[in-house]
Structure formats: structure tokens, C-alpha cells
Amino acid sequence: MGTFRDPSGSLFDVDGRILRVIRPSEALAFRSVLAADVVRKLVERGKVVDTRPVKADDVHHSLRDVPGEWFEHARIGFISVPSEWSAAMLAQAALHTLDLNEELLRHDFVLKDATPANILFEGARPVFVDVPSIESLRPGQDLWAARHQFETTFLLPLMASVELSCPIQWALANPATGLPHEQLSKLLGPRRWLSAARIRHVALATALGGLGGQAASEADHRVRGGAGGANDLEKSRFIQLHSMKGLRRAVMSLADRIERRRSHWSGYAVSRAHYADDDLRIKREFVGRVLQSADATWVLDVGANTGEFSEMAAEKASVVAMDLDEVSVSAIYARVRSSGKSIQPLVVDLSQPTPACGWRNSERQSFLQRAIGRFDLALMLAVGHHLRVTAGVPLAQILETGMQLGGGSLLFEFVPVSDPMFRALARGRESIYSDNTLENCEALLSAQGRVELREQLPNGRTLFWVRGNR
């Protein structure tokens, strides 16, 4: 099925193509937006997704009876959902939305919607994909109609993350509604009065919520009721651009605090005492040989942690680096933005991956639906024992899922029960993990495919590369 919430049309993902139909009543305005110089330049700079018209007979036969004009969007490499982003990624998506809206305002256009659902990441680069939400700025349109959306889906989830350590995954479980002002106000309690940003964007917004909504409705009614003139348009542009500055200051302040955060796992690369220099050298060489031989174009790094091996893979392929530690993912994202490598970091717990959601669980696919069939190599380095002990997943299912995610190609690091990290996780219950033996691991992998490479590290861990029959 296609999307159904946008009144201007619907979006379809068919045979690998992203197709959008625009209803006849909206088609002229949409073509005008695409033809505008500012939009074409934003597309050229990679800020807005490339969009081109297609003929009705060039779409899938099942869609040809849908009324409207057809367009095709360039496909983004791997589609993520906002609940899989780190706070640093959400902050950059927020700034991208503000940048875009400011540029549009200077050319008499404006965004009528502003939620994270309108952004996708091409590696580390945010791209705006909801082109129909760009519309002409109207004289007298002094209030940004999407400001409330922007605050509840960008600003307030960021504030909750920084101020209260609330996971982005919780605040953006529904990216269309986000975190209401009233809810954050209750969570902050008396602290909502302790800073200018909290007062402006949380406390007063909550107290004046009803009046604010009424004022916005009255303003919209006035806009639609009269044509206005050039002076009114210039005034509206000026007022809206000024309001963007306050939102930008609030987001940038939170982004600065996000960059300074640290977690136990974000410092893992310099504190992993269970790896000696020889262990790391041999491991890196093994990973390098696999990457050279696998010739993968898309790699999934499960439990990427610091992103060290994601960066190795990115020398030859596009990479999605997933980890459940949000601070580590933010750190990977900061490095990728500087290096420009083709890595998209995501906050995903493989033991509880993002479910399908939305109306009838059909608007947004689950992580597994989006991932299986997308990659031709999966890395599961120093993560299997976490899934086995912390999540309680049997070794056979861990390996089977790894093979599925890697399209039949899996680089797996086996960690024995005697390993100090395994024992630290097991807390004296090592005996219940009887399936976690080297012999069983190799037998399970051999049942999945052919063991192409095998290497035992001096610390007792063993690396496997397995390829199945395709």
C-alpha cells in the first residue's frame, strides 16, 4: 500500500522505485515547486531529494489507475526511521530542516510540515524527502505553521535527551507527534523554570497552549481570507526568518551538550583490556582479508560500538553501523561527518529491533524488513556473547539471523564461556550456556554455509567468515 496521510498525494515503494502520485488539484503547484530555482539548487547540493516526472505508463501496472501525476524520487541507500537515530543525528536533522526553511523563505517558499519523518540519511548526510510539504509563502503568513511540529518532534525530544537522559527511541516512537509540551513539562517538574530555553519552549508553551493554538488558527484564517500585497509578503518573510534564529540557538545549544557526552561503551576502544596488541593486530588483519575477499557493496556492522571496523568496511562499501549505545552512535556520527565516509550509524538493539509501526503496523517497516536482503556482508564482532547472555538468544538463532542480515555472508567473532567478558556478563551462571562452545559454533556455521576463513586469537576468541550458497 502507499502512504495515505498526505492530502496532496501518496508515496509507493514498488520494484525498488520510490514513486509519488500527486492529485490533479495539487499537480500545478507541485510542478511549480520543482521548477523553482531555489528548489533545483537545493537538489543539486543534495539537500532535497532529486525528483523527476514520469509518465503514467512507466509506473507499475497495479498503480496506473491511481488518478494524478506521477513523479519518481531518487532512492536513499538505507531507509532509517527517526527512532533509530542518535541525539546527534536528530540535532543535525533539526538544523537541516531550519537551514532548508530559511533558504526557502528567502525565495518566498516555506515548509508547511517539519518532522523528522521528512528526513532520511544518505550515510551521515541528512536529505529532505517530503517535497510536497514545500509551498509558496503567502502574504500575511507571519507565523510558521510547522513550528509546533518542529518543537514537539525535534526540539523537545532533544531537550528530554540532554536534560533527562530520555532515549530518542522513546520520545520519537511516533515521529509524527513526538513529545508534547505538556508531557515534557511534567517530566521536568520545577526545573522547567530554571533556564530561558525551558521557559520559552516548555513552560510558557504549556501554560499558553490553548491560546497559542487559537492564535495560530486565527492567523491562518486571516491569511486564507485575503490576498495581501508585496509589503505583507516581505513582512511575513522577515518575521518568520527572525523566529528561525531562536529555534536555531536552542538546537545548537543542545547539540553542543550532546557532543560532550560520554558513556561506558563510547570509551571501549581505549579500555578493552581483554585485547592485547597481538589480538587487535590479528583481528584487524583478518577483517581486512574478509573485506577484500567478500567484495561487498553493502555491509551491516552489528554492535559497531566505536565504529572502528565500520570505518575499515567503508573503504570498500557502504556501511550501516548499528549499536544499542546511543552515545557511541553519536560519536560515530560525529567522526563520519568529518571524514565523509559512507557510514550510516543507527541506534538499534538486535535483540529487540525496531518493529513495524503506524496504522495497522504498515506505514513504517520493521528494521528486519528493511535490512534483510539489503546487505551482502554482516559483521558480528564482539557482540554474540552479549546477545547470548544479556538477551538470552540461543547461539543457533544468533548465527542464523547474522547470515540472513548479511545476505549469506557473515563475519562472526566467537567468545568462549571462559572469556573474562563472557564471565562478567554471566555472573556465575556460565554453566547454563552449554551451547556456547567452539565446536558447536563451528558446526552451526558449517550447517549455514562454507567456512571460508577461520582464525583463533591469542586471547582465546575465534573469528569465522562464512558464506552460504546463494
Q: Please indicate, yes or no, whether residues 359 and 271 belong to a single structural domain of this protein.
A: yes
Domain boundary residue among 259, 290, 323? 259
Domain boundary residue among 30, 57, 75? 75
Domain coverage including residue 231: 79-259
The three three-digit cell numbers of residue 425, written as one number: 556478563
Give pLDDT tens digits for 172-195.
988 889 999 999 988 888 876 667
Q: Please indicate, yes or no, whether residues 282 and 428 belong to a single structural domain of this protein.
A: yes
Distance in angstroms (rounded) separating the CA atoms of residues 22 and 10: 7
Give pLDDT tens digits for 194-235.
677 777 777 667 766 644 443 444 444 444 444 556 688 999
Lowest mean pLDDT among 44-48, 63-67, 369-373, 416-420: 63-67
Give pLDDT tens digits for 5-42.
777 889 998 888 999 999 999 999 999 999 999 999 99
Structural domains in the chain (count): 3
Rounded to an integer, the average pLDDT of 367-393 is 96
Which residues are CB-contacts of 333 (< 8 A; sequence separation ≥ 6)?
A: 86, 88, 89, 92, 124, 345
What one-character DSSP code corresponds to residue 171?
H
pLDDT at 208: 63
Residue 285 has pLDDT above 80, yes or no: yes
Q: Please indicate, yes or no, whether residues 69 and 83 belong to a single structural domain of this protein.
A: no
The helix or strand, by DSSP H or E, that contains position 72, with its residue range, turns out to be strand 69-73
What one-character DSSP code corresponds to residue 176?
T
> 63 exposed, middle or buried (CB, 10 Å; 0-12, 13-18, 19+)?
middle
Closest CA to 241 of 113, 47, 111: 111
pLDDT at 217: 41
Q: Please indicate, yes or no, whether residues 108 and 50 belong to a single structural domain of this protein.
A: no
Which residues are CB-contacts of 184 (< 8 A; sequence separation ≥ 6)?
A: 156, 159, 160, 192, 202
409-414/462-467 β-pairing: antiparallel
Answering whether pTM is above 0.85, one says: yes
Q: Please indicate, yes or no, whether residues 309 and 426 belong to a single structural domain of this protein.
A: yes
